[in-house]
Structure formats: C-alpha cells, structure tokens
C-alpha cells in the first residue's frame, strides 16, 4: 500500500511541475508569435492552469471512473474558494476588483447553475458537452474583446526574457507527456486507495484529487500573497472555476458522456453553488472591497465542515 501512496504522490508532483512548465513554454511560444500579453493571460495561461484538471478528468473518463471526472471539477471549484483564497487571505488581505463582482462572478454563477441543470439528468451528454465548449469559446472571445477595449496605447509591457523556439518546443512536449503520465498515475492509484480504504471514488476525487490538481493555484496564490501582489487573486480564482466547468467537463463529456451520481448532483454541486454565493457575500461590502483574514479563517472552517459531512 505504501507503493500506491508513493505513486499517487509522484503523480501529483508530475502534474504540478508539468503544469508549471506547460504554462511557461506556452507563454514563451505565444510571445514569439507576437500575441498580445493580455490575450496570452486569458487563453494560454487559463488553459495551462486547467491542464491538470483536464488531463485527470480525461484519464478518468477513459478508465471508466466518471465520478472522478465530475468530482475533480466540483471539488476543485469548492477548494479554489474555500482553501486557495482563504489561505491567501490569511497571509495578506485580498483586494476585490469591482469587475469581479459586476462581471466575472455572475458568469461563474450562471455556468455553475447550468452544470446543476445538466447534472440533474444523471449525466452530462456529448450534446451538453458541446454546449459547454461553445460557451467556452464565447467566454474567451468576450474576455479578449473586453481586455483589448481596456488596453491603452503606450502602456508598460513587461515581456521578460523569451525562450528560444527549440527550447520552448521541447519543454512544451515534455510537459504534455508529464501531464499525461501524472494524470494516469493519479487516477489509477486513487481508484486503488478508494477500494483499499473502503470509501467511494467520489469522496477521494472531491478531496484528494481536487486539492492535488489545485496545488498550482495554491502555490501561485501563496507566493503572490507573500509578495503582497494579491490584486489578481480573485479574478484568477473566478476564471479558473469558469474554465474548469466549461473546458474540463465540456471536452471530457465530448470524449465520453459523464455519469453524475445522485450524491454529486444533490449534495456536492449544491454545496458548490452555496460556496459561490458565499463568495459574493464576502466580496460585496463596497466600503473596503477586500477579503480579510477573519473571512479567510471563516472559509477554512466552512471547508472543514464540508469535508466532515462528506465522510
């Protein structure tokens, strides 16, 4: 059993390292292609940070474990708010941009409600996956148009060092292989642990897998908080949650329809909706427009309560 846990840990490490280098190499290639920096952030980086969830969900679908695929996304969306943002707020209070409340949060809530509607049928079909992917394309176009409209000529453009073509290409290829291999290790060993310990794959995927695939967001947010650069944390989390539903579940269900258990449809997804609404309440006070350390502590207590109820 020790070997299984070691392989699981290896899979998580591979996902983390490969995801980081995937983003770095993709951004380098995009810069070499002269793609504007804002568009890189909205497309390349967004897809790159969702790559661990996507690869794990696809591998779970191919392996015949659909509850891992859906549990991974729902669990990641819950932990992104109740853990990633909470830990960041404990280190340094997080400013909340007005755009996150007015534009980004409503999109996240509408997408989450759509997932709830699809899940109530007991599965996410290929047709519904097509709807999610179409909405993903619309969301990216809307974000790019909005960012281009907000851009101002003569603005500062911190490009930083750019990799050579062949270096970026090799890193990109190796990262993709690492993600695929890491996802395979994670899914297979999570299934073994669930059988050995006697708990459902749903619980393991919502806790261990979801937190594992959220490690890049945790690391990035903690580093940003330590540097007191938390301005984009809220927007990143909201964008990540939107991408998880639209891209991860959208593409996965196109490959193979995802069966949704009653527990996920009637307990976990409503929890995700409740957490999303709580997020709005924490962002609303316009006088201070920040998530405080006290609120971060409160979110962690809510997350521990959720984990307790799972078991």
pLDDT for the residue 157: 46
Confidence band (pLDDT; 50, 70, 90) for 286? low
Mean per-residue pLDDT over the chain, rounded = 81
Structure confidence by residue, pLDDT tens digits, 195-229: 787 888 788 888 878 877 777 667 667 766 776 66
Q: What is the 3-state secondary structure (H, E, C) of the chain?
A: CHHHHHHHHHHHHHHHHHHHHHHHHHHHHHHHCCCCHHHHHHHHHHHHHHHHHHHHHHHHHHCCCHHHHHHHHHHHHHHHHHHHHHHHHHHCCEECCHHHHHHHHHHHHHHHHHHHHHHCCCEECHHHHHHHHHHHHHHHHHHHHHHHHHCCCCCCCCCCCCCCHHHHHHHHHHHHHHHHHHHHHHHHHHHHHHHHHCCCHHHHHHHHHHHHHCHHHHHHHHHHHHCCCCCCHHHHHHHHHHHHHHHHHHHHHHHCCEECCHHHHHHHHHHHHHHHHHHHHHHCCCCCCEECHHHHHHHHHHHHHHHHHHC
Distance, in Å, from the CA atom of 147 to the CA atom of 93, rounded to the nearest integer, reads 26
Q: How many domains does the chain have?
A: 1
Q: Check pLDDT > 70 for residue 145.
A: yes
The number of beta carbons lying within 10 Å of the beta carbon of residue 286 is 9
CB 264 within 8 A of CB 119: yes
Confidence band (pLDDT; 50, 70, 90) for 276? very high
**Residue 77 belongs to domain spanning:** 2-310
Structure confidence by residue, pLDDT tens digits, 220-262: 677 667 766 655 567 778 888 998 999 989 998 998 889 898 9
Structure confidence by residue, pLDDT tens digits, 70-79: 998 999 999 9
pLDDT for the residue 153: 47
Distance, in Å, from the CA atom of 282 to the CA atom of 297, rounded to the nearest integer, reads 12
CB 223 within 8 A of CB 232: no
CATH of residue 223 = 1.20.1420.30
């Amino acid at each position: 059993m020790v070997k299984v846990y070691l392989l699981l840990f290896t899979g998580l490490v591979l996902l983390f390292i490969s995801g980081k280098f995937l983003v770095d190499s993709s951004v380098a290639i995009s810069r070499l292609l002269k793609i504007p920096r804002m568009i890189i952030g909205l497309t390349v980086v967004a897809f790159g940070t969702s790559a661990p969830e996507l690869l794990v969900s696809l591998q779970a679908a191919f392996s015949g474990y659909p509850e891992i695929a859906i549990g991974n996304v729902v669990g990641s969306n819950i932990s992104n708010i109740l853990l990633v943002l909470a830990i960041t707020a404990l280190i340094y209070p997080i400013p909340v941009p007005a755009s996150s409340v007015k534009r980004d949060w409503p999109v996240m809530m509408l997408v989450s409600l759509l997932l709830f509607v699809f899940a109530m049928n007991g599965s996410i079909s290929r047709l519904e996956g097509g709807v999610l992917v179409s909405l993903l394309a619309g969301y990216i176009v809307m974000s790019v148009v909005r960012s281009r409209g907000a851009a101002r000529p003569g603005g500062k453009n911190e490009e930083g060092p750019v990799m050579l073509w062949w270096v970026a290409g090799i890193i990109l290829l190796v990262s993709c292989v690492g993600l695929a291999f890491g996802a395979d290790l994670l899914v297979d060993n999570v299934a073994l642990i669930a059988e050995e310990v006697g708990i459902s794959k749903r619980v393991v995927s919502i806790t261990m897998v979801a937190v594992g695939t959220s490690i890049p967001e945790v690391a990035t947010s903690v580093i940003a908080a330590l540097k007191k650069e938390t301005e984009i944390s809220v927007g990143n989390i909201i964008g990540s949650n939107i991408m998880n539903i639209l891209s991860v579940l959208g593409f996965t269900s196109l490959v193979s329809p995802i069966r949704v258990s009653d527990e996920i449809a009637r307990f976990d997804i409503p929890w995700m909706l409740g957490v999303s609404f709580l997020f709005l309440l924490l962002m609303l006070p316009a006088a201070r427009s920040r998530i405080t350390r006290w609120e971060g502590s409160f979110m962690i207590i809510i997350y521990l309560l959720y984990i307790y109820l799972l078991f």
